[in-house]
Structures are given as C-alpha cells and as structure tokens.
Structure 1
Amino acid sequence: MLVSSLLTVTVPVADQARALDFYTGVLGFEVRSDNPFPMGRWLTVAPKGAETTLLLASWFPDMAPIGGLVVGSPDLDALAVRLREHEVGCTGPTEEAWGRQLLFRDPFGNGFVVSSV
C-alpha cells in the first residue's frame, strides 16, 4: 500500500482565532496543535478520537472555501439546535435514502455534511 492514511485536510479561514472559537466552542473539536508558523499559526483541530485533523489555514487568501467535508454525529438534532443557537445556518436534519444528514457552512463558507453515526 502506497498511501495508508489521510492525516490533515486544509480548511481555508480568514481569521484563525475566530475559526478556533467556532471549531472548539461550537462544534466541540479539540486542539491538536497550535504552533508558530511563518505565515500565522500551525493550528489543527479534530473531533475527539479522530485521526484526521483540519488545518485552519489563513495564509491562502485566494483559496476558495471547500465543500463536501463529511463528519459524523450521534445526535444530529442536538447539533442542529447548537448551530442555530450560534446563528449558523443549517439544513436538516433530513431523511435521505442513505440515512439522516445535516448540512451547514462554517463562518468562512466551508461546507459540511454531517451524517448520523
């Protein structure tokens, strides 16, 4: 096997401090690294226990938001309530042929699909 894992996904953000507040405060992710970096901070977050991290990168001002990031949640209804309490627009949860899902965008336009796990 030439590639054995997906380590980090770079998520473009305009403001790392604001992104950190969103990902840890609203979504409940944990900080995996927060180190000085020549262009800002090397700031990674992830859900507790997850192997793959998100790199919250502010040094790509021309990078368009990404979509289709798929994460899992055991309680889509509670997540929808929490997102709405923090004025994050979301769609769902909805029942689909493949299961329940919830859609939302982070404050920087990056799109997420949350599947029921």
Structure 2
Amino acid sequence: MNIDIHYAFLPHTDAEAALGFYRDLLGFEVRQDVGYEDMRWLTVGPVGSSTSIVLHPPAVDPGISDDERDTILTLIDKGVYGAVTLATDDLDALFAKLEAGGADVVQEPTDQDYGVRDCAFRDPSGNLIRVNQI
C-alpha cells in the first residue's frame, strides 16, 4: 500500500498575488482556479508531481464566528498561520530566483545544526515557505 500527500491547504488574501508567487516565481502549474461569489480557490503544484497546495480564502467556513474570523486574519497578517516546507536539488539557485523576484526573505540558505540546509520566505499572504536542499 502506498500513501502520498495529495493536498495541503494554505490561506491566501490576494489570488493574483498568490499566482504571481506560486505560478510565476516557483514555477508551479495551476491545476484549478475556482471562483464562488467574490472568493477564489487556487490549486497549484510542482509540474510532474501529484502533490498540490490549495490556496483558499481564509476563514470562510460557515461555523466560524466574526471574532474567530478576525483572529484568523490577524494571525495571517502576522505570518504565523500557515506554513509548508518544499524541497529542491538546487537551493541556492531557487533562493536567488525568489529573491530576485521580490519574495519576502525570512532566512537565507543556512546549514542547520540538525543536518538540513534550508532557506525561508513568506508568500504574499504571509505563509511561511521553507525550502530544504535535497
């Protein structure tokens, strides 16, 4: 039996900015772009991979109160709500591409004490995007 990750979910606060980051800077393909009323869900992922990230409007669940919605939006604004770790075989080249593209750098490529070489960015919604060298 094989198990794989199919979808991971991250909130977005601006669909066009999210596309600029995930599609244009990271080179992910857009697998779905679904709108409903004034909201938009984007499914993106690396070309040739079955793993996808669903970028969704934040706090749209009907059971969320206004106070809970405000808390979620505050956490997103602070950049502490969502995160994902990606992997690449050329960390320095990817870092240079993202930095040149104006991505919000959190950490330059670093050899961590626990044996990983990685860097970190924030996407346009503030989600933490870590990238490991493989």
- Structure 2, gaps ≥5 residues long: 61-68
SS of residue paired to 1:18: helix
TM-score (norm 2): 0.74
1:50 shift after superposition: 2.2
Match of 1:70 among 82, 85, 88: 85
Name which one, 1 or 2, has greater alpha-carbon Rg: 2
Q: Percent identity?
A: 34
Residue 40 of structure 1 is matched in structure 2 by 39
TM-score (norm 1): 0.83
1:89 shift after superposition: 3.0
1:60 shift after superposition: 2.4
CA contact (8 A) 2:45 2:53 kept: yes
SS of residue paired to 1:70: strand
Match of 2:104 among 62, 66, 89: 89
Residue 66 of structure 2 is matched in structure 1 by none
CA contact (8 A) 1:100 1:116 kept: yes
State the 4+ residue runs in structure 1 displaced beyond 4 angstroms.
Answer: none
Q: Which is richer in strand?
A: 1
Higher deviation after alignment, 29-38 or 19-28: 29-38
CA contact (8 A) 1:40 1:59 kept: no
Taking structure 1 as reference, are residues 89 and 47 closer, same or farther at Cα in structure 2, changes over 3 Å only?
Answer: same
Q: Which is richer in helix?
A: 2
2:100 & 2:4 partners in 1: Cα distance? 35
1:105 shift after superposition: 0.9
1:116 shift after superposition: 0.7
SS of residue paired to 1:14: coil
Q: Which amino acid aligns with 2:132?
A: S
Q: Which amino acid aligns with 2:109?
A: P
Residue 15 of structure 2 is matched in structure 1 by 16
